[in-house]
Amino acid sequence: MTTAAMFNGSVQRIQRTPPAYFVFVGLLIVLWLSRPNMLNINIIGIFMRQNAPLGVLVLGQLLVMRVKSIDLSGGGVILLINYFISSGLFPEASLTFFAVLGLTTSTLIGLFNGLMIGKRRVSAVIVTLAVSIILVGLVQFLSSGKPPGDVPTYFNDLYNTKLWVMPSPVVFWIALSLILAGILSSTVFGRFVASVGESGAASHFAGVPVERTIILAHTLAGFITGLAALVQTASIAVGSVRVGLDLPILSVAATILGGVVFGRGEGGVWGPFFGVLSFTFLFVVMTAFGISDPGKLIAQGLIILLAAIFYGVRAAKSD
Amino acid sequence: MKQDFTNLLTGRQSRQGLWFAPLLVAIAIAAYLALSAPHFVGSENLLNLVAQAMPLTITAIGQMFVVVVGGLDLSVGSLISFTTAILALDGPGYLLIPAVLAFAVLVGLINGLAVTRLNVHPIIATLAMQYIVLGVTRTLRPVAGGTVPPVVLKAVNGFVFGVPMPVFWGLLVLLVGWMLLHGSRFGLHLFAVGGGIASGNEQAARNFGIAHKRITLLAYVASACFAALAGVYLAGRIASGDPNVGLGFELDAITAVAIGGTQLSGGIGSLQGTIIGALVLAMLSNGMNLTNVSPFLQTAIKGSILLMVVGLQKRKLIGL
C-alpha cells in the first residue's frame, strides 16, 4: 500500500469517527492542563454517577433514532415515575413494587408511542412531545404544582453503593450499554433496526417487518426510560415537579454527538456513551471556568449544531 | 354539490387542507362557552380573547410557512423571549425595533442555511438555535424587567378611532400572511416544494424550475420575522422584557397549525386554518380560565388535543 493510500485511509477513518470522541479527548486535555487534581477516579466516578440517568436515557434514544424516529416523552415519564414513588400514594411499598410499577408504566407509554408512530404514522416529534406535555400537566395537576414528598430511603442507599471503585449507577449504565450493544449487533431485532434505519422502503420489500420493528424499538425505549427514571429518582432522593424535564433534549444532543445521525439511522452504542461523557466533562470544564448557565446553553446549542453540520456535510459529500 | 361539500369537510382534493372542519369545531366551542360561561360573550372578554390570541396567531402563521415546506421551527419561542429582552434595554424604539427584526432575519437565515445548504435536519437546526438564542437572551436579561419604548406600548395598547390596536395587528398579519401565501409566487412555490417533500420526492419542485432551497430558506426567515413581530406585541402587552415569556410558544404554534389542517409532512395548509387553530387554542384557554380549570390541567388538555389532531392525520412516511 502506498503512503498516499494509507493517508487517505486514515483520513476516512477520522471522518467516520463520531465527534464525541474528539470532544471527550479535548475536554480531558483541557481539564488535565487547567485542573489536574480533578482527574482522579473518585471525582470522575462522581461526575459519571450524576450523569447516569442521562446515560441510561440515551440508550433508549439511540435505539429509536436508529430507526429514524425520536422519543421526547422521557421528561414526562421520569416526572410521572418520580410522582408514583414520592407522592405517598403507595406507603410502605417495596423497591420491587416501585420498579415493576414504573417499568410497566413506561413500557406501556413506549408501546403507545410506537403504535402511534409505526401504525398511525404520526410525526414522532409531535406524538412524543404531546405525551410528555400531557404527563407533565397531569403530574403538576395532581401535585398542585408543588414537590410531592420524600422518596423512600432505600433508593438513595442503593444509589450511594459502590462496586469496587465505581458507583453502582455507573456500573449499571455500563452493563446496560453492553447489553444493548449485544442486542444491536447479534440479534435478528438488531439487524432489523439497522435495516430499517438504512431504508424503510427497501427493508419493507426485503421482508423486514418495518412497523413491528419501530413499535418494538419504542417499547424498549419506554422500558429503558423507566430505568432512567428510577436512577434519576434515586439520585435526587426527593419528589419534584421539574426533575428530568431537560433530559430528553440532552439525550438527543448526546446521541447526535455520539454519531447516531438524526433521520439517517447510522451509529452505535459507544459513540453516544462518550457523547454523555463529553457533556459531563463539558459542564465540569465550564463550571471550573466560571461560565454561567446561559453560557452553558449557548455551548450546548453550538455543539448540537456543529455536530449536525459535520454529519450533514459528510452525508452530502457521500451522496 | 354534495361532493364539493364532502371535499370541503374532509379537506380532500384541496391544497388548503382540512380547515372547514376545525371552523365548525371553533364555532361549537364558542357556542358551548357562551352557554356555560356567561362572561365569555362580553365585549371586554372578547377583546381580551383577541389580544391574548394575537401573539400565538402571529407565531403560528410564521410556523405555517415552514410546515408547508415540510419543516418545523423550534426556535420561535426563544426568539420571542429575545425580542422582549432587547426591547426592554431602555433604548429608543426606532433603533431597537429594526435591531430585533435584523436579528430575526439572521436567525432565520442560519436556520435556513443549515437546513438547505448544510443538510441538517430542521428539528435539530432549530433546536440548536433555540438553545443558542435562549442562552443569549438569559445573558442579556437573566430575570424579567426593564422598560419597553413608549412607541411599542402605544402600538399594542392604544386605540385608533376608538378601535383597540390588537384589531389592527390582526388585520395587518392577516393581510401580510395572505399576500405571502396566496397572493405571491413565493406562496405558490412553498406548496410546490412541500408537496414534493410530502410525496417523497424532494427534487420534484426543482425539476419544475423552482429554486427549492431559496424558497425553504425564505420560509425560515419569514417564520423568524413573524416570531419577532409576536415578541414586539408581547413586549407591549407585558411592558417589560422577560427571558421566559416565549417558552412553549413553539409547541403551541405547531398545535395551532396542526389543528388548522396544515399537514405536518408539508405541501398542504392554509392561512384561515392556522388562524382558526390559534383561535381554538385561545378560546380553550380563555374558557378554561373562566370555568376555573387548573392551569396544569389546561396543559394536559392542550397536549391531548395536539395528540388527537395529529393522530387524525395519517401520513405516508413513518418517523420524524
Measure CB to CB from residue A126 to each of B139, B302, B306 and give the nearest one: B306
Q: What is the pLDDT of residue B232?
A: 96
The average pLDDT across A44-64 equals 92
A143 min Cα distance to partner chain B (Å): 10
> Does pTM top 0.90 for this prediction?
no
Interface list for B 260-279 with A (CB within 8 A):
264-265
Counted domains in chain A: 1
Between positions 137 and 156 of B, the ones with CB within 8 A of A are 137-139, 142
C-alpha grid cell for residue B24? 365548525
| CA proximity to B259, closest of B77, B25, B55 | B25
Nearest to B300 by CA among B311, B319, B284, B320: B284
Which residue of chain A comes nearest to B141, CA vs CA? Answer: A294
Class of domain B49-312 (CATH, top level): mainly alpha
Alpha carbon of A311 to those of A14, A58, A265, A315, B108: distances in Å?
13, 19, 12, 6, 21
Is B120 in the A-facing interface, judged by CB distances under 8 Å?
Answer: yes
A83 or A311, which is more confident? A83
How far apart, in whole angstroms, are the C-alpha atoms of residue B228 and residue A40?
48
Give the position of cell 356567561.
B38
pLDDT of residue A35: 83
Residue B314: predicted pLDDT: 67
Nearest CA in chain B to A255: B124
Query: CB of B72 within 8 Å of any CB in chain A?
Result: yes
Taking an 8 Å cut-off on Cβ atoms, the answer to whether B135 and A126 are in contact is: no
Interface mutation target, options B281, B296, B312, chain A, most CBs of A under 10 Å = B296
By DSSP bridging, strand B163-164 and strand B159-160 are antiparallel
Count how many pairs of residues, chain A against chain B, have C-beta atoms within 8 Å. Answer: 171
Higher-pLDDT residue of B312, B262: B262
pLDDT tens figures, A168-223:
999 999 999 999 999 999 999 999 998 998 888 888 898 899 999 999 999 999 99
Q: Under an 8 A CB cutoff, do A302 and B317 touch? A: no
Percentage of chain A modeled with pLDDT above 90? 39
In a 3-state reduction of DSSP, which class is residue A238? strand
Domain locations along chain B: 49-312
Nearest to B135 among A120, A134, A295 (CB): A295
Minimal-distance CA residue of chain A relative to B255 = A126
* Residue range(s) defining the domain that contains residue A100: 49-310+314-318
Asked if residue B19 has pLDDT above 80, the reply is: no
- Report chain B residues whose CB lies below 8 A from the CB of A131: 303, 307
Q: What's the pLDDT score for residue A266? A: 65
Q: Reduced to 3 states, what is the DSSP secondary structure of residue B160?
A: strand
d(CA A230, CA A222): 13
Return the pLDDT at B1: 59
pLDDT of residue A129: 86
The winner for highest mean pLDDT among B25-34, B211-220, B257-266 is B211-220
Residue B306 at interface with chain A, using a CB cutoff of 8 Å: yes
Whether A126 sits inside 8 A of B258 (CB atoms) is: yes
- Nearest CA to CA, how far is B116 from chain A (Å)? 10
Given this model, what pLDDT does residue B4 score? Answer: 64
Cβ separation of A133 and B319 shorter than 8 Å?
no
A56 touches A176 (CB < 8 A): yes
Bridge partners of residue A150, in order along the sequence: A238
Which pLDDT value is given to residue A74? 92
What per-residue confidence (pLDDT) applies to B7?
63
Q: State the pLDDT at residue B141.
A: 92
d(CA B181, CA B188): 7
Tell whether A147 is covered by a domain.
Answer: yes
Contact A200 B319 (CB under 8 A): yes
Q: What is the pLDDT of residue B217?
A: 96
Q: Is B107 on the interface with A (CB under 8 A)?
A: no
**In this predicted model, what pLDDT tens digit does every residue of A242-292 receive, in sequence order?**
888 888 888 888 888 888 876 565 678 898 999 999 888 888 888 888 888
Q: Does the pLDDT value for residue B12 go beyond 90?
A: no
Q: Where are the beta strands (DSSP E) in chain A?
A: 162-163, 166-167
Which residues contact residue A182 at a Cβ distance below 8 angstroms, ignoring those fewer than 6 apart? Answer: none
**How far from the centroid of its chain's Cα atoms is residue A126's Cα?**
19
Q: Please, are residues A108 and A222 in contact by the beta-carbon 8 Å criterion?
A: yes
Is residue B309 pLDDT above 80, yes or no? Answer: no
How does residue A231 score in pLDDT terms, banded at 50, 70 and 90?
Answer: very high
Mean pLDDT of chain B: 88
Fill in the DSSP letter of residue A117. I
> How far is residue B224 CA from its own chain's centroid?
10
Q: Do A125 and B320 touch (CB under 8 A)?
A: yes
pLDDT tens digits along A113-148: 999 999 888 888 888 988 998 999 999 999 888 888
For the record, the C-alpha cell of A12 comes out as 476516512
Helix (H, G, I), strand (E, B) or coil at A204: helix
The alpha carbon dihedral of A210, A212, A217, A221 has a sign of positive
- Percentage of residues of chain B with pLDDT beyond 90: 50
Backbone angles phi and psi of B241, in degrees to 5: -100, 140
Q: Which three cell numbers stand for residue A32?
A: 488535565
In order of A116, B58, B74, B203, the CA distances from B228 in angstroms are 34, 9, 14, 31
- Chain A CB contacts of B306 under 8 Å are 126, 129-130, 133
Instruction: Enter the C-alpha cell of residue A48.
Output: 459519571
pLDDT tens, residue by residue, B122-180: 988 998 999 999 999 999 999 988 999 999 999 999 888 888 899 999 999 999 999 99
Give the amino acid at A62: L
Q: In which band, very low, low, confident or very high, does the pLDDT at B29 lie, cut at 50, 70 and 90?
A: confident
Q: What percent of chain A has pLDDT over 70?
A: 97
pLDDT score of A44: 84
pLDDT number for residue A179: 96
State the nearest Cα–Cα gap between B152 and chain A, in angstroms: 27
- Say what the pLDDT of residue A180 is: 95
**Is residue B293 scored above 60 in pLDDT?**
yes
* CB-CB neighbors (< 8 A) of A137 in chain B: 296-303
CATH number, position A112: 1.10.3470
Instruction: Tell me if A218 sits within 8 A of A110, measured CB to CB.
Output: yes
How far, in Å, CA of A282 to CA of A27, rounded? Answer: 7
